[in-house]
Structure 1
Amino acid sequence: MPLDMSKTLESGSALESGNAETNAFMSIPGKEQHGQPLEQDSIDPRHLEHISIHTPRRILFLYGSQTGCAQDVAENAAREARRMRFSASVSAMDDYDRSLLIREHFVVFIASTTGQGEEPDNMKKFWKFLLRKSHPSDALDHMEYTVFGLGDSSYIKFNWPAKKLYKRLMQLGAVPFYEPGYADDQHYLGVDGTLGPWLTGLWKVALEKYPIPAHLEIIPEDVIFQNSFSLVFDPKDKGMGMNMDMEKDHEPILDFNTEPGSYLATMIKNKRITDPKHSQDVRHIELSIKDPVFPGYHPGDVLAMRPRNLASDVNEFLKYNGWTEIADDPLTIVENLSDHRLPKHIPHRQTLRSLLTNHLNVFTTPRTSFFQLLVHFTDDEDEKEKLREFVSPAGQDDLYSYSHRMKRTIFEALKDFKGVKVPLDYMLDLFPIIMPRSFSIASAPLVSVQEHRQSARSHDADKIHGKKMIHTANGDLSADDNLEGELEWKVDLCVAIVYYKTKLWKWRTGICTKWLKSLQSGENLVETSTSAVESAPVIDAATTATTVNEPAQFWIRIQKGTLKLPKDPSVPLICIGPGTGVAPMRSFLHHRIYAQGATENVLFFGCRKRDMDYHYRQEWEQFEKEGRLKVFSACSRDQEDKVYVQHLIEQQGPLVWNYIHERKGTILLSGSSTRMPADVTRALQRVIASQGQMTIEQASEYLTRVEKEGRFQQECWA
């Protein structure tokens, strides 16, 4: 039934004002033109801003998101709220004006989990604010709220940020109006497996509490919302391509805006360290950072980088969509909505090619929201029906089979739905942003100082008499001393290239590791490569040039790791790091051995075959010969009965018990978050029970106490 355009909104309820601009909400279904809504048919949340924050039918969605998934959930939930005539706004928790919180009546919090049960970066300040002891217990007694968490049950601290947030809000007097939801990445449908049913219940409760005014109706599904951003091409610039940045009258065209805390790294080594015959390609990557203000890093820290899409993949995508001719024409990204800001690292002024190369991920598995929006961009009724089925509760199994099980990409989905024509102005709504990927650093900062002639600055440099001191294994050096060479840091990574077959035998690869594998290093330019390597891009905020015969450069950031060494180097250390989980262990062991002279170090390492994927074997064997490390390696496929690290831990029960009980040592665990952490935990419990003459229950409690003391730490990933 068409909405009655003649009706006026009454004051005092959601979307209600005597202001004529609210007529923009009186939309007639069916008048949109292939995803391009007519102006009078657009649902533009900008028109909601005049509504008082005290309006009962206002919902605020606050999210904490590390990879963009929680943000996607919040933005899509807000769109659904607007369809139900709620005034809805969206913000990252740290971007929200906290002084307004006491005026909010209806808030939905959406929080993801990062690291080992930690808050996302854009939630940390908000969470710290909530924890202030000065807040009275009734500070938020005017607020009704609920919480939705995104987590992975293979981690011990499953959905901790969301659970802690739910509890803290209640402590501050806020009243839950709907039960919390905790999505589990282990669900066969991923987040959507929990989110769909949870949202259905949420809207039922919300509409019962705040019904739609009698003169209004739910906005039909076939009416598309206003695009968050517009891509504006200047006709005067057509055909000028990348020469445009030479014109004085224009803002320069950039690939990236440099983010605070970012530093330019040069790839000096990109070497496969697994046997060529082995199914898994694992790379040892060395990066050089020469920025004089680079603060360094600590053992166990994490390096984050934003990958790029390969030029060949982008060219194919541009050609398929018919955008090749305009790919290099300058454009400006215009923000249309007050609560949808362009991420700070994305320049407003750039090209379509740069946007698809550096910022939009069209080679990832699409989320449900992708199919919800895609239905507006096809005129084919069969395709519309199929897309609507995918996003319906009854169609979730079909969506799983089509998308999740096959790990089908966005580009592949577009090619399957041939009637779809993506409007350029909806690209940033339809395609997710390429998010940073994080890797545990596999080197020690003090070792990098040694290997570069003591020319780098340390992470813990002190200000002494106005001079910056450099702590090295050979003593302290002043930055004012006459050092050879330029200041330089070396950072090592141990990276497994993601390349696998789906259950239906189709090959898939990860965007970041595919990009890393393609990059030229300084070593590649000297040695003869045995495989074709795509030209190495230089990602620089000041240029869009691509240099073929130079090592790759890209921006990196250093983040604090979750694993910490004992402060006293005489305290024994047990490292458990199968596969690429050995990366942070290498950082810790190098630091302990080279910089601290520690000798009571144990490493439990796991791989498939000793001669295929025993990462850094020569290093470990050399340390062992020198009496500075005990190594126990579980090569699971070298014998008939498979042997894993947990088996070796039990075999070395007396040593493990002595280190953790008698000597009060520290255990560090890193690696895959599938079965390994639980298997290792059970092995430790059995060792404690056996050696300490306890029951398994007592041993479990003992290990929990050790963990609370910070002597059993885990950093695992899916």
Structure 2
Amino acid sequence: MPTSVANRFLLLYGSQTGQAKAIAEEIAEKAGDQNLHADIHCLSLTEKKFFIEREKCVVIITSTTGDGEPPDTALKFVRRLRKKTLPDDYLSHLNYALLGLGDSNYTNFCNCGKSLDKRLQDLGAKRFYDSGWADDAVGLEVAVEPWLDGLWSALKRFLKLPGAEHGGGDADAIMTENKEMINGDSRLNGSTVIENGNKSRSADTQSVHSISNTIPVLTKDLTNGNNQNNLNNSNSAESSVPVCDINQSDCNNSSSHLEQTSSSEKHTDLLVKTLNGTKDNKSNESSMEEKTEASVKVSLPPLSESTLTVPLLPPPFLKIEYNQEQSIDVCDLPRQNDYDFPSAATPVTMATVSDIKTLTSDTAVKKAIFVELDITGSGINYQPGDAISIICPNDTNEVETLLDRLGVLEQIDSCLKILVIEITKKRNASIPKFVSEVSTLRHIFTTCVDIREPPKKALLRVLVEYTSDDAEKRRLQELCSKQGNEDYARFIREPSLSILDILNNFSSCLPPVDRLIEHLPRLQPRPYSVCCSPLTSPGKISFVFNVVETTAECGRTYFRKGVCTGWLEGMSHSAKRDKQVQDTTEKEIVQGIKQLEVSDIKIPIFGRTNQSFHLPDDVTVPVILIGPGTGVAPFIGYLDHRGSQQEAQAETQFGETWLFYGCRHKDRDYIFREKIEHHVSTATLSNLLVSFSRDEQSADAPRYVQDNLRSHGAEIVSLIEEKGAIVYVCGDAKNMAKDVNQAFIDIFSQCKGISSDEARKLVMKLRLHRQYKEDVWT
């Protein structure tokens, strides 16, 4: 219920993976420093903790999930506002500010936020501050930070509070404040001055203004060992992580291994050589002379000579107490402290791996692995097109190497208790909900926190305090500063540096392990599309994935595989060894005895909330399936399902089914080929259009799925407009999905004789009417 407090505003968030919630909590924490009171609630608590129709001032932070859908926590709130019975002036008393989070790799960028923004205005609500759209494809902070800067002044102006013009608000106010400080005025609302990496003045908020660091800090120490052999970049194009320029200083000698200073020799194969301290002094001097490129460790003017605006140091709020005498069985600990998983539609179940095999040849660029799980008795029900989430651990060697780097390897299995510091300055401090209060470091860093996610700026700011080398300290300040946004994106976010990469690059940095637990995000489950049908595989569920491999370059200091894909691939090696043993045993036993099971491995999974990527209930409706690579996975389930339906409904005339499939090489990575050709032979699949992008072929041969789409444009338009065909696209969002979307625009433009803008609107209309559906990922 709203209160009469003059400085109060309602703060709402709709979060799927926790980012919108984290931003809202940051706003709530900073509000007190601005003499404001934030009444914060999740959107799921509508009509329980708040009533939007009774509010005067509200700030909303919401993400977008799926194919432009609201996050699960916002569904109820959005549905309430969508009611057609609501009058046009229903929210005429409401004033709001809205920040939407999204990813421009997906077509419906920030769709939930934009739809909500429009609906609020349709119901009479008014903006007191411009809506913001943050793009995870380039880094949320690029839009979030300036939006938050301006929010405080906007709130104070609307609430008619003092200090509206100097509340850490818009850019003009910030510029004015900086000028005042240069002239010796101390009237800066919550700031810290950094001079050559040293804090000389502090206050209470997290907006920090430095005005005197104008001396370059590039030193020999910062460039030691970077002038290595040129990188062989031949396989980099296939990596899922963006590849840096070949001349970039950190993109060198990816095959060399790290000389471990660890007490444990078993980690030496995990990491590559650190870039510091690997050459003699003469080489270092030569390297300094030749250094011309910026890197994660090195900045150049103007940034290296710039005044910096860096965050205030987040206050510590957790501490760890070890109990060497107490034993603990981590197997008894609840998985991620029993904290609800996002998008979970079912409880977590342990599914038995009944089959696991490689689908591609040994010479394929990417390895595709098929996994079948026995879900008998799990309570998981699914349709073709659904997805499951796999709860995976971090790599064991990587965890041990990180904890060794932090100097706590000896305590890795000791029982510990996490406590909130009694005198912490952090408001509403608490232990992360996904971490058990009593645990071990191994358990926390293996199963609870994400050690691969590029560190956020707040964590980099913390690392500054535990870095002894002045040049390294300055560089970390740059990377977490507003002036260093481009460097942060280029050298940390784009190459996906992990916390271990950061520590390896900044050798003098040694933070306490409890500070990492404060800031590392939750280790999220990984979703995979189902590639089977319950009609043909009762009690089973299967999926396929590419093994993600990332080389040691561009600041990445060790070779790695995907967190989940690498873990699952390890199971395939184990299953293969088991099968070899069983095959030997089978030769010695009497024919007719049941073959041994491939594996007794069990993995934790749960069913995901419905994403509506399903076949139409009306089997007479044609479907157009577009899925190159492993994007074909859900369509294998579609074909199996349709084949079974056709057998059971022989009298029914089914709609046409078209499949556009593509891969690199016909003889290396044409996955599910036998099954696809079987569906062609049984007429389940009406039309199969396959393209091979890397095979030698005639110049006019289609190389990509969009080439085949354009070649059959007239037929596709006819299927969609005359027979109501539904288009399904599955695969890579960053490139393939955008190319396919453009192909449809081109097809409609050409076949209907309309402009590209008109064709684009037509395709968007198909999306809105659920006639063009996507299941894509980055």
Q: What is the TM-score when the length of structure 1 is the normalising length? A: 0.74
- Report the Cα offset of residue 354 of structure 1: 0.9
In the TM superposition, residue 708 of structure 1 has moved relative to its aligned partner by 4.2
Tell me, yes or no, if the aligned pair for 1:321 and 1:421 is still in contact at 8 Å.
yes
Which AA in structure 2 matches 1:442? C
Match of 2:688 among 626, 631, 638: 631
Matching residue of 1:518: 570
1:523-602 pair list within 5 angstroms? 523-524=575-576, 526-528=578-580, 550-597=600-647, 598=654, 600-602=656-658
2:674 to 618, 625, 649: 618
2:406 touches 2:513 (CA, 8 Å); kept in 1? Answer: no
CA 1:499–1:82 in structure 2 vs 1: closer, same or farther (change >3 Å)? farther
Partner in structure 1 of residue 326 of structure 2: 240
- Is residue 44 of structure 2 the alignment partner of residue 67 of structure 1? no
Q: Superposed, which structure 2 residues align to 1:375-454 within 5 Å? A: 375-378=464-467, 382-449=471-538
Aligned residue for 1:63, secondary structure, equals: strand
Residue deviations 1:187-212 (CA, integer Å, cap 9, x gap): 3xx22222233233334434666445
Tell me the CA shift for residue 179 of structure 1. 0.7
In structure 2, the residue matched to 1:115 is: 66
Amino acid corresponding to residue 709 of structure 2 in structure 1 = I
Conserved in 2, the CA contact under 8 Å of 1:265 and 1:556? no
Alpha-carbon contact 2:380-2:607 (below 8 Å) kept = no
Amino acid at match of 1:92: C
**Quick one: distance in 2 between partners of 1:122 and 1:342?**
22
Which SS does the other structure have where 1:527 is aligned?
helix
Q: Which amino acid aligns with 1:679?
A: D
Cα 1:343/1:390, change in 2 over 3 Å: closer
Query: Following superposition of structure 1 onto structure 2, how do residues 236-385 of structure 1 map, counting pairs within 5 Å?
Result: 237-243=323-329, 253-258=333-338, 259=340, 261-290=347-376, 292=377, 294-334=379-419, 346-378=435-467, 382-385=471-474
SS at match of 1:556: strand
Please point out which of 696, 710, 731 is paired with 1:650. Answer: 710
Once structures 1 and 2 are overlaid, which stretch shifts more, 361-370 or 76-85? 76-85
Identity value in percent: 29
1:154 match: 105
| Aligned twin of 2:146 | 197
**CA pair 196-695 structure 1, distance change in 2 beyond 3 A:** closer
Bigger drift between 664-673 and 604-613 goes to: 664-673
CA distance in 2 between counterparts of 1:135 and 1:559 reads: 28
Q: Which amino acid aligns with 1:242?
A: I
2:744 pairs with one of 684, 695, 713: 684
Judge conservation of contact 1:255–1:354 (CA < 8 Å) in 2: no
Is this contact kept in 2: 1:112–1:150, CA < 8 A? yes
Kept in 2: contact 1:238–1:330 (CA 8 A): yes
Residues 1:606 and 1:505: Cα distance change in structure 2 (over 3 Å): farther
Tell me, yes or no, if the aligned pair for 1:254 and 1:349 is still in contact at 8 Å: no
Unaligned runs of 5+ residues in structure 2 are 167-186, 191-202, 207-310, 341-345, 582-597, 648-653
C-alpha spacing 1:135/1:338, structure 2 compared with 1 (3 Å): farther
Cα distance, 1:513–1:240 mapped onto 2, change above 3 Å = same
Distance 1:521 1:556, change over 3 A: farther
Closer, same or farther: CA 654–398 of 1 in aligned 2, 3 Å: closer
Deviations for 1:647-701, whole angstroms, at most 9, x for unmatched residues?
1122234543443334332221111112323332343344445555666566555
Alignment of 1:13-52 (within 5 A): none
Within 2, Cα distance between the matches of 1:389 and 1:204?
A: 26
Cα RMSD for the two superposed structures:
3.5
Alpha-carbon separation, structure 2, partners of 1:387 and 1:90: 32
How has the CA–CA distance of structure 1 residues 677 and 319 changed in structure 2, closer, same or farther, with 3 Å as cutoff? Answer: closer
Cα 1:257/1:660, change in 2 over 3 Å: same
What do the CA deviations read for 1:314-373 (whole angstroms, capped 9, x no partner)? 111222212233322333445688856666654443222111110101222112222233
Unaligned regions of 5+ residues in structure 1, if any?
1-51, 246-251, 450-488, 530-547
The residue number in structure 2 matching 1:660 is 720
Matched AA of 1:64: G
Could you tell me how far apart the structure 1 residues matched to 2:125 and 2:419 are?
A: 37
Give the counterpart letter for 2:498 in structure 1. Answer: T
Q: CA deviation at 1:633?
A: 0.4
Q: CA separation in 2, counterparts of 1:388 and 1:56?
A: 38
Distance 2:550 2:368 in 1: 13
Seen in structure 2, the aligned counterparts of structure 1 residues 281 and 109 have a Cα distance that, compared at 3 Å, is: same
CA-CA distance at 1:271 after TM superposition: 2.1
Query: Could you say if the C-alpha distance between residues 58 and 509 of structure 1 is closer, same or farther in structure 2, counting changes exceeding 3 Å?
Result: farther
C-alpha change, 1:588 and 1:339, in structure 2 (3 Å) is farther
Contact preservation (8 Å) 2:636, 2:676: no
Q: 1:567 to 1:338 in 2, by over 3 A?
A: farther
Single out whichever of 364-373 and 86-95 deviates more from structure 2.
86-95
Equivalent pair of 2:392/2:567 in contact (CA under 8 Å): yes
User: What is the aligned partner in structure 2 of residue 532 from structure 1?
Assistant: none
Per the TM alignment, residue 116 of structure 1 is displaced from its structure 2 partner at its CA by 0.8
What is the SS of the residue equivalent to 1:559? coil
| Shift of residue 492, structure 1, vs aligned partner | 1.1
Q: What is the DSSP-based 3-state SS (H/G/I as helix, E as strand, rest coil) of the residue aligned with 2:452?
A: coil
Worse-matched range after superposition: 139-148 or 273-282 = 139-148
CA deviation vs aligned residue, 1:15-65 (integer Å, no higher than 9, x gap): xxxxxxxxxxxxxxxxxxxxxxxxxxxxxxxxxxxxx95434445543222
> What is the number of residues matched between the two proteins?
599
Structure 1 match to 2:663? 607
Deviations 1:186-242 (A, max 9, x none): 43xx222222332333344346664459999523459755545x3553x6x423333
User: 2: CA distance between counterparts of 1:277 and 1:711?
Assistant: 38
Deviation string 1:265-313 (CA, Å, 9 cap, x unpaired) is 22233322122112212211112213x2514111111111232112211
Deviation by residue 1:433-467 (Cα, 9 ceiling, x = unmatched): 11222111111121112xxxxxxxxxxxxxxxxxx
Matched residue SS, 1:99: coil
- 2:732 alignment partner AA: S
SS of 2:695's equivalent in the other structure is coil
Distance change in 2, residues 1:714/1:254 (3 Å): closer
Is contact 1:610–1:638 with CA below 8 Å preserved after alignment? Answer: yes
Contact 1:633 1:645 (C-alpha < 8 Å) held by counterparts: yes
- The 1:711/1:165 distance shift into structure 2, 3 A limit, reads closer
Q: 1:154 is paired with a residue of what secondary structure?
A: coil
Q: 1:382 to 1:108 in 2, by over 3 A?
A: farther
Query: Contact (CA 8 Å) 1:520, 1:551: kept in 2 or not?
Result: no
